[in-house]
Amino acid sequence: MNTTTVTIARIYTLEGNDQLNKALDILRDEEKIFGVTIIRGIAGFGENREVHTSSLLTLSLELPLIIEFYDEPEKVAKAIKTLTSRLDLKHIVSWQATAYSDSAV
């Protein structure tokens, strides 16, 4: 089994704006990032403390979204720089991890 060091990044944003599709296009087409997953939250809040949630009474288009991606550390650093220079993304975290596979990333 092969191992490689990767960086995982998460971008916290809200549904209902145009950032998701633009971010996906950048990560897939320009930066050629190895893996990307979009996670839709059912509830959450940020620094303004406003709760964004989904219920039968309110069909909010502002549910929390997490754009998570990983690749070689240099590629992730470059992708974050590209994303933040083009999109209004303020909440990004990243950390190092080990990827285990039958082939290198």
What's the token pair of residue 73? 């550390």
Residue 52's pLDDT is what? 65
Domains within the chain, CATH numbers bracketed: 2-13+20-51+65-101 (3.30.70.1150)
Please list, in sequence order, all residues whose beta carbon lies within 8 angstroms of the beta carbon of residue 27, skipping any fewer than 6 positions away: 33, 36, 67, 69, 79, 83
In angstroms, rounded to a whole number, what is the distance separating the alpha carbons of residues 81 and 58? 35
Residue 41's pLDDT is what? 78
Residue 33's pLDDT is what? 97
Instruction: Extract the residue ranges of the chain whose pLDDT is less than 70.
Output: 46, 51-61, 103-105
